[in-house]
Structure 1
Amino acid sequence: MNKNVLNAASTLPLADSRGIVRRTLIAMIVMISAIFVAVIVTLFSIANTLNTQADQQNQLLLLKALHARQEAIRTHLDDNANWGEAYTNLHVHLNTNWAWDQQNLGRSLYTSFELEGVFVLDPDDVTRYSVISGKLVHTPFQSWLTVPVLPMLHQRLQQSGGKSVSQFAVVNNTLVLLAAAWIQTGSDDTIKPIPGPPSIMIFVDRLTPAKLRAMGQEYGVLNTHIHTHARQVDSDKREAGFPLSTSTGGISIEWTSSNPGGALLTWVLPSMVFLFFATLFLALALMRHAMLRARLNDESTFLLEQGRLALAASEQRFRDVAETTSDWIWETDDKLCFSWISGRFPVITGSPQQAWLGRPLTTFLLDLQPNYRLTQWASSASVGSHLALDQCLYFSPDNQPHYCNLVIKKVKKSDGRPGFRGTATDVTQEVQTQARVRYLSEHDELTGLPNRVQMRQFLDRKPLKQLAHDQQIAVLTVDLDKFKPVNDLYGHSVGDKILHDVSARMRDCIPENGLVTRYGGDEFIVILPTTQGSNEPERLSDALLSRLTQAFHLEDTDVFIGASIGIAIAPLHATDANDLLRYSDIALYQAKHDGRNCWRLYHPSMKEQIVQRRELENELRDAIHANQLQLVYQPRYDVHSGKVATIEALIRWPHPRLGLLMPDQFIPLAEDTGLIFQLSDWVLATASQDAVEHFGTLSVAVNISAIEFRVSGFVSRIHHVLATSGLSPSRLEIEISENTALSDPDRVTEIILSLKSIGVRFLIDDFGAGYASLSYLHAFPFDGIKLDKSFVIPTDTSESARRVVENIVGLGKAFSLHITAEGVETEEQLTYFESLDCDALQGYFIGRPVPLGELKQHLSMQTTSPTCPEQAD
């Protein structure tokens, strides 16, 4: 082998070996460093502990020395103060000869005990006797000491009962030990105490620097002193100390520490550093030797490793491909029994490899046709030939269907025997997606019903022109009634649930040979093959209406809808599918026009009516946009004030082709087509604007369709009209029919209360002609009722009609409602209803509906008589 190639090839393993040795070296250095750092830290910790212990011991010794000096001075003071002769010669009267000359309290206290001050103070704290530094002088104690300690001494003597007490004080940066005691007779019974407070004897011991050093040396503590900032300290000396509390403040007593920890570090630390570097050098030498041996080992094993890698490369490459591909690979013997399966097999199929080894491939595949093709091909195939099988079915362990595409090749194995190898590509998701696409192309996703595509296929399966002489096909177009308010009130999720339930009910009604499809929205189409002369379409329509009018149960309420059905039959009405669907839709339109919740069979006359109705719908839409509609106004007479108090706005449509159309001729059309909302907005805006500009303080009444209460936005529309026109809410009256609140009482009540809160009034129009009842009046917050004219007109001739009217008026009064009688056309009726205490009257006798200009003339001529000029004439 070429030497350069060998050197280049050997670079990789050598680099790896050097990396291992380098990492080992770094790890060892880090470990050795960590050990030495830990040892040094421990050494410093031990040194610090030794210093701390030494300082604590010295502190205890100094405290012991101070306590011993306190005990000594208190003992000397007790010997001198608790003495009968001292009581006689110092307290009863001052005998200087006894005290000084005879040395009972003289120089010996200074020379023997180093007491710089000896004082005797009378009960008034006046210094009677004083010896300072071994000399008899007359110096007051307070002026000599210069610090106020007498109050403290008195307090402590009171607490000790006059026995000796001691206390440290700081005077001119010098520690002073004070001891005080009451002068008492002691054990001498021959001396009688005199009444009054005792005198005080005070000993003063100044602990000068020399005394402190000597006291510390006595206990082995060097250079004891009081801390001062001005004191110079040698840099190589370590100072230690502790605070001492005195009566005049705190001080710090310090000394030169013996520093045993420093001595330890001085001797041990250099040795440790030397040992660290020596160990590090040895480790580096060992690592260098290890790297040389690693290089030799790598070079000797490289050629053998290259051969092993070359042999394993092709196998590893094959395994990598086999384990990372989305396919699973397999091998069988000449009888198509699995002898090897790749690792992707359990991942894709869910079955363990061992479960299928030794079992035939034909058992794995469940489709008979692929198995037959595979068996036939395997028996005659030559080595090297291929076979491809698409969408072969098999089942996973959880019994779920899966699909795969197989590619098979006949091979000769290394032992010379024939066999087969191949790949299997899982196409389950692709097959399921295709099935889902096919399903969605023919079914409605929400209800699961066939859609219009499958409906067309159903119709095309039996061409309408080729039906047998006694065969017919009925097409039923079913449209849900009152479904849009359900969506508006409860949301689309509830609407979807109802559509799903509707589809289930319709399936239950349709015979097996029929088809029900969702055509779109809330419209369904039923196709029913039947025989001529049979009334099956009619019976099916009745069954569908019966099921669809039953309650749909939600979680907290029941929803009721209905349906309208149009029927067209082939070949009776048409032999073309498009015509048949169109005619059933026309029949549906007729059913809706006839009141909904019913079915209608197509008749040719319906087509013309539908065309006319649609023309009228388009003309009404144009009339609204072009402002071709007009309002007329009818006055309402207030009985109590004797004047017209309210004007009712009534809409008229001057049709250019059909002449003047009354509301009952186009309002139902507007309600069916949804134009009622635009229409009522125009009426509200126009009437409100006219009232502001021409009616003075009179109120204006507007009729509102019940449909407008079933959708959201009515309250906001009223607010917008009032804000735009400037009309006061208290001048607006809204008249609604009795059946307005029946579909959704809670919603209607909420709307009424919301508008009543700003002053808008609500009246029941045509009361008594619909579903009026006591509960109706009690449940809804109406302001008044308008008695239908069908009750008013017969009162001229019928006594029973009068009794009915009287009961209705009494009923309204019982509920505190404003009563208006509509249809008053004679003076006798006016007089009669005034006698019943009605609140207002309306009718042709009061005033006919007239345009705005004519109404303004009538209002300008208004007198206390309810009769307008038109009737007066």
Structure 2
Amino acid sequence: MLALLGLSFFAGFTALLCVADDLNDKADQHSVLLLDKAFASREESMRFHLSDNAEWGEAYDNLHLTLNLDWAWRNQNLGESLFQTFGYEGVFVIGPDGRTRYSVLNGRLQRQSIEAWLGQDSLKRLTDLLRQNDGNALSRLLVAGGQVALVGAAWITPGGDRSVDSVEDAHSVMIFIDRLTPAKLENMGDEYGIKKLTYAASQDIHLYRVPTMGGTVMLKWQSDNPGGALLTWLLPLLVLMMCGTFFTAFMLMRNALRKARHSDVSTFLLEQSQQALTASEQRFRDVAETITDWIWEADAQLCFTWISGRFPAVTGYHSQAWLGQPLHRFLLDDIDLLPRLAQHDETGEPVILSRCRYRSAQQHIRFCNLTLRPVMLAHGKRGYRGTATDVTLEVEAEARVKYLSQFDELTGLPNRAQMNACLAGKLNGTLHGDCPLAVIMIDLDKFKPVNDLYGHAAGDSVLHDVSARFNACLNEAGMTARLGGDEFIMIVFDANSREEIEELCRRIIAQINLPFAINGGEVFIGASLGVALAPEDADNPGDLLRYADIALYKAKNAGRNNWVFFQRDMGEKIVQRREMERELREAIQTDQLRLAWQPRYDVRSARVTAVEALVRWHHAQHGILMPDQFIPLAEETGLISVLSDWVLHRACADARRDLRDLAVSVNLSAVEFRDKGLPKRIRTALELTGLPSHRLEIEVTENAMLQDPDTTLEVMLAIKALGVKFLIDDFGTGYASLSYLHTFPFDGIKIDKSFIFPLNDSSQAHQIVENMVGLGKAYSLTITAEGVETARQMELLQKLECDALQGYYIGKPQPLEEIVAAYCISSEAV
């Protein structure tokens, strides 16, 4: 006890010291934050003064174009007031040649270079930093003469004065220098509640490191020491409390020893009670070995003499109603228990009866496991004691599992296992070509919208009705099985001819096309069927199912709601498609894709202002593949997202690195706008490549607005919030409503080349293009004409006030190097 108290007070003293130390640390941290704020405020003030004096049309005339000392010094536009008012010891004007043209030192006009006055050459680094900052005012700290000096610099520009003609290739630099003397440091510290702030050696405490261009300077100050004040008040109180606690503990221990002696008297009484508990413990052990659900006792004739309170909850009967009743009357099975139990009387081993049937009070058949054991009851009479465990749920679950192993739970149709067994059995028999066995694989069309719109309960109801219609069509001539979801297999036995199978397929589609009643309304779905025949196509279950699946795929691609018989060449086409999918996936991973860049000519500025990134697949066997040869495959297989990410990252990276200020447009598939994660993917591409968002344009066809327009609008608005622009590609060839031009956040339209080609010879084409341009102008959209291939077309489109032109006459899709050479400066200059 004393050790615990000692440890507690030791922890208290340690905690107090830690708190005091922590208070001092936090006070020092607060002082450091204030110093950071003080330096930041001083730098901000200097940048403000620089901007006020450097971004000025008169300063540009009198300091950059010419040096007018009357204006600068005598008229006090850049004179001793900067020293008297703001304390700037050094004011310099550096000419474009790097020489000091004008300087005011300590409020006096003196002709001295900045390098000589500072004692170091920092001008080159300042000019480099200014170039990176586009000449805007900046400030830096440097070490000069063992003290910190705040140096600010800015280009001298006309600012907003449009009356002054500026020269872009040469810049004069205005520099302000504020030396932080010990007096200035102390005044700055007093302003922020920091006492005696001054320069320090590295071994001093309370150091503040000031990073500068010439090294690191250390500052020190006088700490407030709140931890010391805390120790002065609390430490004596804690010592007094410790002394009082130890005295109280000593008195309590004396009292505890006295009570321990009195407790020894109770030991004798505890020993007397142990004998009374021995008999009850023996009974408890017997019960604990066999306890499961409800417990009972019976006499030698197996008539109940005692039943536990769990009995009514399990069986529904009152315990009193069965006292005196024999056990075999409770059980439905005619079991002769007494002869069997007589064999176990001598050994005393329990008898276990599994899954005995009985009828509950609600007249339900239930099952239980009985455990019986011969025992000696009160007054020396022989009898039995046992337990009964209700296993009704277990028996029902096994029956349920057995059923589900052969049948589908929802529809009651045979499942895949029973279908495979049936098909294998039929194929093991004798098959005749004139009476083929047909395997029809069925997939429901337009079933997913039923689940999405009406819920899964409605979808389950439709599947149940579908299974009933399948059975009605088959009419005991075969088996219908459900594979899962909305896929079914129908096995047709002993079909007389191929025409009979076709008639069955026609009947199935006709039945499925009939309306289904849901929630007081009607829904319509369809079905696609793939048929494989045995022994014509195959004579084993695996091949038949695979061929039926291939035929089903062909039926769905052929327009759905029809049937297709398997043909040998179908398998080869599926293999070719899968091989193409594998090669496309590999092409994305192994850098087989390339970008071609097509310029877009801006009519107003008469120059190329944007390029369109077009993807090409450099296939090892087939050569260069165009987008229309592999984009549909990417959309079908789900590779379109990976492909789009590759194009986005590559286009943004190349544009940021090599294309200077040209805008870059990227085509995205219409299916991409169903993905709500698309805005995040575009933001990631912009962040990783560093391309400004206003330089990226997304081109999308009109069809994107027809599929789930609400989701498409939500995705487009999220992308638009990033600063990215949207253009409608191939305008005029889709089926979108013109109202979408107002609803969706488009910035421009690109008139499809099919309207531009006949422009020279057709007045009707000329009128259509003119109307398209007028429509775009009415919605404040930029108009781009695609497919411009002649000078005459370019001339006509300029007269129609098209904003931009694109086509082979402007420039064909070219590699990046040719685009850079033709329209951009070199990457090194950038």
TM (norm. structure 2) is 0.54
> Match for 1:535 among 487, 496, 502?
502
Question: Aligned partners of 1:499, 1:822: CA distance in 2, in Å?
Answer: 47
> Match for 1:510 among 467, 470, 475?
470
Question: Aligned partners of 1:399, 1:782: CA distance in 2, in Å?
Answer: 72
> Match for 2:437 among 449, 460, 472?
472
Deviations 1:445-499 (A, max 9, x none): 899986543443443454465467636342415387896x999xx9xx9997787
Question: Aligned partners of 1:699, 1:496: CA distance in 2, in Å?
Answer: 48
Question: Aligned partners of 2:671, 2:303: CA distance in 1, in Å?
Answer: 75
Equivalent in the alignment of 1:623: 587
Is the 2:442–2:529 contact (alpha carbons within 8 Å) kept by the matching residues of 1? yes
Tell me, yes or no, if structure 1 residue 349 matches structure 2 residue 315: yes
What amino acid maps onto 2:420 in structure 1?
A: R
Deviations 1:408-442 (A, max 9, x none): 8999x99xxx9999864432243244345546655
Is the 1:477–1:584 contact (alpha carbons within 8 Å) kept by the matching residues of 2? no
Equivalent in the alignment of 2:610: 646
What amino acid maps onto 1:834 in structure 2?
A: Q
Is the 1:822–1:841 contact (alpha carbons within 8 Å) kept by the matching residues of 2? yes
Is the 2:652–2:664 contact (alpha carbons within 8 Å) kept by the matching residues of 1? yes
Identify if the C-alpha distance between structure 1 residues 546 and 760 changes in structure 2 by more than 3 Å, giving closer, same or farther: farther
Equivalent in the alignment of 1:568: 532
Question: What is the CA-CA distance between 1:443 and the residue it aligns to?
Answer: 6.7
Identity in percent? 47
Q: 2:621 aligns to what SS in structure 1?
A: coil
Question: What is the CA-CA distance between 1:663 and the residue it aligns to?
Answer: 0.8
- Superposition RMSD in Å: 5.1
Question: Aligned partners of 1:382, 1:686: CA distance in 2, in Å?
Answer: 86
Equivalent in the alignment of 2:752: 788
Identify if the C-alpha distance between structure 1 residues 581 and 399 changes in structure 2 by more than 3 Å, giving closer, same or farther: farther
Question: Aligned partners of 1:382, 1:855: CA distance in 2, in Å?
Answer: 100
Question: What is the CA-CA distance between 1:654 and the residue it aligns to?
Answer: 1.9
Q: 1:534 aligns to what SS in structure 2?
A: helix
> Match for 2:596 among 632, 635, 638?
632
Identify if the C-alpha distance between structure 1 residues 438 and 494 changes in structure 2 by more than 3 Å, giving closer, same or farther: farther
Matches within 5 A, 1:318-337: 326=293, 328-329=295-296
Question: What is the CA-CA distance between 1:665 and the residue it aligns to?
Answer: 0.9
Matches within 5 A, 1:367-766: 370-371=333-334, 374=335, 390-398=354-362, 400-406=364-370, 424-435=388-399, 437-438=401-402, 452-460=416-424, 462-463=426-427, 465-466=429-430, 470=435, 472-476=437-441, 478=443, 500=460, 503-504=463-464, 506-511=466-471, 514-519=479-484, 524-529=487-492, 532=495, 533-535=500-502, 538-539=505-506, 542=509, 546=513, 566-591=530-555, 593-594=557-558, 600-766=564-730
Equivalent in the alignment of 1:823: 787
Identify if the C-alpha distance between structure 1 residues 382 and 722 changes in structure 2 by more than 3 Å, giving closer, same or farther: closer
Identify if the C-alpha distance between structure 1 residues 855 and 324 changes in structure 2 by more than 3 Å, giving closer, same or farther: closer
Question: What is the CA-CA distance between 1:643 and the residue it aligns to?
Answer: 2.4
Question: What is the CA-CA distance between 1:610 and the residue it aligns to?
Answer: 1.1
Q: 2:595 aligns to what SS in structure 1?
A: strand
Equivalent in the alignment of 2:736: 772
What amino acid maps onto 1:507 in structure 2?
A: S
Is the 2:705–2:736 contact (alpha carbons within 8 Å) kept by the matching residues of 1? no
Q: 1:774 aligns to what SS in structure 2?
A: coil
Question: Aligned partners of 1:443, 1:667: CA distance in 2, in Å?
Answer: 42
Question: What is the CA-CA distance between 1:789 and the residue it aligns to?
Answer: 2.4
Question: What is the CA-CA distance between 1:833 and the residue it aligns to?
Answer: 2.9
Is the 2:528–2:552 contact (alpha carbons within 8 Å) kept by the matching residues of 1? yes
Question: Aligned partners of 1:545, 1:801: CA distance in 2, in Å?
Answer: 47
Moved more, 378-387 or 532-541: 378-387
Question: What is the CA-CA distance between 1:736 and the residue it aligns to?
Answer: 0.9
Question: What is the CA-CA distance between 1:704 and the residue it aligns to?
Answer: 0.4
Matches within 5 A, 1:780-859: 780-859=744-823
Question: Aligned partners of 2:294, 2:711: CA distance in 1, in Å?
Answer: 62
Is the 1:322–1:342 contact (alpha carbons within 8 Å) kept by the matching residues of 2? no
Equivalent in the alignment of 2:105: none
Identify if the C-alpha distance between structure 1 residues 764 and 497 changes in structure 2 by more than 3 Å, giving closer, same or farther: farther
Q: 2:501 aligns to what SS in structure 1?
A: coil
What amino acid maps onto 1:793 in structure 2?
A: F
Moved more, 636-645 or 527-536: 527-536
What amino acid maps onto 1:476 in structure 2?
A: M
Question: Aligned partners of 1:614, 1:318: CA distance in 2, in Å?
Answer: 69
Is the 1:328–1:425 contact (alpha carbons within 8 Å) kept by the matching residues of 2? no
Is the 2:673–2:716 contact (alpha carbons within 8 Å) kept by the matching residues of 1? no
Q: 1:837 aligns to what SS in structure 2?
A: coil
Identify if the C-alpha distance between structure 1 residues 798 and 330 changes in structure 2 by more than 3 Å, giving closer, same or farther: farther
Is the 1:383–1:410 contact (alpha carbons within 8 Å) kept by the matching residues of 2? no
Question: Aligned partners of 2:724, 2:517: CA distance in 1, in Å?
Answer: 35
Question: Aligned partners of 1:736, 1:790: CA distance in 2, in Å?
Answer: 17
Question: What is the CA-CA distance between 1:760 and the residue it aligns to?
Answer: 0.9
Is the 2:291–2:387 contact (alpha carbons within 8 Å) kept by the matching residues of 1? no
Deviations 1:844-868 (A, max 9, x none): 233222222333444379xxxxxxx
What amino acid maps onto 1:727 in structure 2?
A: L
Question: Aligned partners of 1:516, 1:802: CA distance in 2, in Å?
Answer: 61
Is the 2:512–2:527 contact (alpha carbons within 8 Å) kept by the matching residues of 1? yes
What amino acid maps onto 2:678 in structure 1?
A: F
Q: 1:702 aligns to what SS in structure 2?
A: strand
Question: What is the CA-CA distance between 1:777 and the residue it aligns to?
Answer: 2.0
Deviations 1:546-605 (A, max 9, x none): 589x9999xxxx999998664434444322111122223323443455567765442211
What amino acid maps onto 1:352 in structure 2?
A: H
Question: Aligned partners of 1:641, 1:561: CA distance in 2, in Å?
Answer: 56
| Unmatched segments (≥5 aa) in structure 1 | 1-294, 862-873
What amino acid maps onto 1:710 in structure 2?
A: R
Question: What is the CA-CA distance between 1:328 and the residue it aligns to?
Answer: 4.5
Question: Aligned partners of 2:512, 2:667: CA distance in 1, in Å?
Answer: 32
Is the 2:656–2:691 contact (alpha carbons within 8 Å) kept by the matching residues of 1? yes
